[in-house]
Amino acid sequence: MKKYVDVIVPLPIAGQYTYSLPAEMEEKVQIGCRVVVPFGRKKFYTAIVTNVHYAAPEGYETKDIEEVLDSTPVLLPKQFEFWEWLASYYLCTLGDVYKAAIPSGMKLESETLVVYNPDFEASASLPEKEQKILDLLSNDTEQCVTQLEKASGMKNILPVIKSLLDKEAIYVKEELKRNYKPRTEARVKLADSGMDEARLQQLFNDLGRAPKQLALLMKYIELSGWVSRETTLKEVTKKTLLEKAGGSAAVLNGLVEKGVFEIYYQEIGRLDKGMLKTTDINLLNPAQQQAYQSVLQCFREKNVCLLHGVTSSGKTEIYIHLIQEVLKAGKQVLYLLPEIALTTQITERLKRVFGHRLGIYHSKFPDAERVEIWQKQLGDEEYDVILGVRSSIFLPFKNLGLVIVDEEHENTYKQQDPAPRYHARNSSIMLASMFGAKVLLGTATPCVESYFNAISGKYGFVELKERYQDIQLPHIELVDIKELAHQKRMQGPFSPRLVKEIKEALERKEQVILFQNRRGFAPMIECHTCGWVPKCKNCDVSLTYHKGLNQLTCHYCGYTYQVPRSCPACGSVELMNRGFGTERIEDDIKLIFPEARVARMDLDTTRTRTAYEKIIADFEQGKTDILIGTQMVSKGLDFDHVSVVGILNADTMLNYPDFRSHERAFQLMAQVAGRAGRKNRQGLVILQTKSPDLPVIRQVISNDYEQLYYDQSAERQIFKYPPYYRLIYVYLKHRKEDVLDMAADAMAAQLRSGLGSRVLGPDKPPVARIQTLFIKKIMVKVEQTASIAKVRDYLLAVQRAIIEDERFRSLLVYYDVDPQ
Ligand code: ADP
Ligand code: ZN
Ligand code: ZN
């Protein structure tokens, strides 16, 4: 009887596809393994098997699987269950989830771009097919799989590509250029293992006429410790030797040919970076001990607990104690951090305690490294603790016991684009429940929804109000800049009071942080004379200015433009960089304090992970006096010598048209303020605003989260927002504006017939055209008590009906559930 498999393909299409298995593969395939399948016209994809059966599908002829890629599953049953939940809750397809969940290197397809690795040196000769592909790539070092298929005349080369990837002869091209670290390292040793003083002297004489070779040899003797007669010589890498001796590879090769040196290759696991000494964990102080016990107590009755602890109360210490308990019970821990908070500071702190049991999953790591972690988690020596960003909820856990969501209020836990538009905090609660695991949400400024769940008893609730060692919370001083601007007493963005405080801090050799909220999405160009801003011709957005490239790019469609020499609207040549404002601030501060060492931390200066870490390290080590930054400066950083924090303009946060804007502003300001003042003195925060009378400003000053919560939640109840109502945004896209308008009206009308006044719109979203597609948005507000599952089913049914209408054939519909 013929065997079939159902698979998920990495495409945004609903449902799964059935393929037949050629006889020779029948025994090889298991649920959760990857297979290569033909799809569409001459395209191949890596698909994942979700079922193996004997039932031929009705209505269509199945195609055969091309190849089975795994002998054991890479997707575990619980994960698959989690994927299904995600797809149904966030109203997207399993293909969407698959694409987000699995690192690129594990889901090759015809369009995958692969890149030649110039550092690769084969340890044995490659199979013919692999060599052929590699040769093609060595000529033209970046090609997509289809291109290579054509050039080689081979059909379906995904298995060949996979094998080359495993050997790291090639790698998958990623958006960002990342430092790629080869996994094997070339090292140098003396060919003559019995080398002694006399023979070495002879060698020196022989090389007398080849000074470069001689220099290299002498450097080797030095680096390997041969001179000091160590019993075992130190290993010397080819790279270090050439660098230190200032020699070239040709010189080294000369010595290899003369039989002086031998080159050998050593595997260097990227993940295990040498032996780690672990330290004992810190003892908790009485307040922390009490909080810790309360969390444990909560977990006896509830699955989720909110830990509301002021900044620097030692929440991380409590997490560490909890992790240790869970590890003792033989279970795994997932420790989630928002992207921008995952710094060396926290990784090193945890590495010191958990050593090799800790793995780190970061989106700025090379893809190959993420593949390696994935594979490791499937094996027998998996990490017990994963510290990671949003996407680490997809890693294959076997025995999850605890999830920690640090800075749980951070909106970067929500993925905006593309689908799945999931929230990692909320999703991890579901993931944990599948494992019977507990979830701890930690923050100094809870999101209104979590706080609501905590005080209503749905979650456990623990508070920690003391800072560790009673370090005082900073003193926040309000400065009304509206009045000052009126009197022309502002120096650029700085009030006289702020200038005075910065000056005094610098005199005391203390540090300053200046915080400027990020206004738009990205830096822009603006005409100084008429205010003209360049826009994308395909999308309804302003273009992003890349200073380094001196280019304009569209953030949505990727289209690039030259920077115009003059303004097309008025002819003025005064086009200026509007930036985040941080650049301006940097210039202004340098004028006032020319001696001060100033650094800027924003999207522009932190494109790579290393650049980001360097700014932090320099500030930590006191190499910088003033740090200017956007929200990035507020997260997960402990600095010891910051005595003044300036919030330059609170109003940009408060005026943002969103029901969460005051909540967000409070969170941001509280977090930024928390950077001021460490061990022995109280820090000072200067809060500059034009609206000193807003309640939220008072709440920031008195650090009164409860009052903020009561105000905000009262407002949300009246205006029907979370936590009292759930939101789903329905987005419709079409090339033609009139068709879109008709479709949106039709869909809204149908939705209203079932959901009544819960449906609002359609409206034009702030960005109303992307990639030449017009966009409309319908908002659905559902009361907490209603069945959200029924609403989802209804939405999908209406969508199907609309799509079936001849007129709306190429209409795109997608959803944003629990939008942020
Ligand atoms: P939070 O996560 O609440 O902001 P942290 O855990 O980062 O606070 O603690 C703030 C600082 O106090 C850190 O430098 C940390 O090492 C130190 N600290 C907190 N609790 C302890 C403790 N029990 N023993 C030693 N140091 C502690
Ligand atoms: Zn102009
Ligand atoms: Zn565009």
- For residue 475, the CA-to-ligand 3 centroid distance in Å is 45
Examine the domain organization and report whether 502 and 627 are in the same domain. yes
Cα 733 to averaged position of ligand 3 atoms, centre (Å): 15
Atom in ligand 1 nearest the alpha carbon of residue 638 = 14
Q: What is the pLDDT of residue 636?
A: 57
Ligand nearest the Cα of residue 526 is 2
How many A from CA of 575 to the centre of ligand 2?
8
Confidence (pLDDT) at 520: 44
Q: What is the 3-state secondary structure (H, E, C) of 605-630?
A: CCCCHHHHHHHHHHHHCCCCCEEEEC
Are β-strands 475-480 and 812-817 bridged in parallel, bridged antiparallel, or unpaired? unpaired
The domain in which residue 697 lies consists of 475-518+590-704
Q: Is residue 711 part of a domain?
A: no
Amino acid found at 753: S
Find the ligand nearest to 537 CA: 3
Q: How many residues does the chain have?
A: 820
pLDDT given for residue 179 in this prediction: 35
Number of domains in the chain: 7
Neighbours of ion ligand 3 (CB under 5 A): 536, 538-539, 554, 556-557, 559
CATH number at residue 19: 3.40.1440.60
- Return the ligand 1 atom nearest residue 311 CA: 4
- Retrieve residue 541's tokens: 């957005």
CA of residue 530 to ligand 2 center, whole Å: 4
- Provide the CATH number for the domain around residue 791: 3.30.70.600
**Which residue, 704, 733, 760, sits at the end of a domain?**
704
Atom of ligand 1 nearest to the CA of 313: 3
pLDDT at 181: 42
The rounded Å distance from CA 770 to ligand 2 centre is 25
Among the listed residues 409, 316, 408, 445, the one whose alpha carbon sits nearest the alpha carbon of residue 703: 445
Residue 280 lies in a domain: no
Question: Could you say which ligand is closest to the alpha carbon of residue 468?
Answer: 1
Asked if 45 and 173 sit in the same domain, the reply is no
Instruction: Determine the pLDDT at residue 270.
Output: 52
Atom of ligand 1 lying closest to residue 464 CA = 3
pLDDT at position 658, please?
82
Residues enclosing ligand 1, CB less than 6 A?
282-285, 288, 309, 311-317, 468, 638
Q: Which two tokens stand for residue 116?
A: 């030649």
d(CA 820, CA 815) in angstroms, rounded, equals 13
Residue with tokens 């007398």: 208
Closest residue by Cα to atom 11, ligand 1, is 312
Q: Are strands 684-689 and 475-480 parallel, antiparallel or unpaired?
A: parallel
Which of residues 177, 200, 222 is at a domain's end?
177
Phi, psi of 538 (to 5 degrees): -95, -20
Pull the structure tokens for residue 562.
């030259």
Q: Is 693 exposed, middle or buried (0-12, 13-18, 19+ CB in 10 A)?
A: exposed
Q: Are 367 and 338 found together in one domain?
A: yes
- Does some domain include residue 712? no
Residues 460 and 311 both lie in one domain: yes
Backbone angles phi, psi at 31, to 5 degrees: -60, 135
Residues 189 and 247 in one domain: yes
How many CA atoms does the CB half-sphere of 798 hold within 13 Å?
26
CA 372 to ligand 3 centroid distance, Å: 35
Q: What is the CATH number of the domain that holds 441?
A: 3.40.50.300
Looking at the structure, tell me whether residues 540 and 663 fall in a common domain: no
Q: Is 305 annotated as a binding residue?
A: no
Nearest CA to ligand 1 atom 27: 314
Ligand nearest to the CA of 282: 1
Ligand with an atom nearest the CA of residue 531: 2
134 and 258 together in one domain: no
> Cβ distance 417 to 90 under 8 Å?
no
Measure 490 CA to ligand 2 centroid, in angstroms: 27
**Structural domain contains residue 37:** yes
User: Are residues 300 and 168 located together in one domain of the fold?
Assistant: no
Measured in Å, residue 771 CA sits from the centre of ligand 3 at: 5
Q: Is 92 annotated as a binding residue?
A: no
Q: What is the mean pLDDT of each run of 10 residues along the chain (820 residues)?
A: 92 88 90 91 87 90 90 94 97 95 84 84 85 90 88 87 87 51 71 80 85 88 74 78 85 88 71 56 93 97 96 92 96 92 81 92 82 92 95 97 96 92 98 98 96 97 89 89 88 93 94 79 73 84 76 79 90 76 82 93 73 84 90 72 90 81 92 78 90 94 95 94 96 95 96 95 87 93 93 96 92 95
3-state SS, 143-171, equals: EEHHHHHHHHCCCCCHHHHHHHHHCCCEE
Q: What strands, in cross-sheet order, belong to the sheet with 544-546?
A: 544-546, 551-553, 560-562
**Of ligand 1's atoms, which has the minimum distance to the CA of residue 317?**
6
Q: Which atom of ligand 1 is nearest to the CA of 288?
A: 23
Query: Does residue 401 sit in the same domain as residue 498?
Result: no
Residue 670 lies in a domain: yes
Report the nearest-CA residue for atom 9 of ligand 1.
314
The closest residue, in CA terms, to atom 19 on ligand 1 is: 314
Q: Are residues 385 and 436 in the same domain?
A: yes
Give the pLDDT confidence score for residue 738 in this predicted structure: 95
The Cα–Cα gap between 484 and 688 comes to 10
Kindly give the number of the ligand 1 atom that is closest to the alpha carbon of 406.
2
Instruction: Report how far residue 751's alpha carbon sits from residue 758's, in angstroms, rounded to the nearest whole number.
Output: 9
Whether 393 and 337 map to the same domain: the answer is yes
Residue 710 lies in a domain: no
Residue 720 belongs to a domain:
no
Residues 740/741/743/745 CA torsion (nearest 10 deg): 160
Residue 796 is predicted with a pLDDT of 95
Given ligand 1 and candidates 308, 316, 466, which is best to mutate, with the most ligand atoms within 8 Å of its CB? 316
414 falls within a domain: yes
Q: What is the pLDDT of residue 517?
A: 77
Q: Does 532 share its domain with 514?
A: no
Structure tokens at 228: 């000091």
Is 33 annotated as ligand-binding?
no
Ligand nearest to the CA of 576: 2
- Cβ count near 181 (within 10 Å): 13
Point out the domain boundary residue: 233, 267, 301: 267
Centre of ligand 2 from the C-alpha of residue 526, in Å: 8
Q: Which atom of ligand 1 is nearest to the CA of 319?
A: 6
Q: In testing the pocket of ligand 1, which one of 468, 470, 639 has its CB within 8 Å of the most ligand atoms?
A: 468
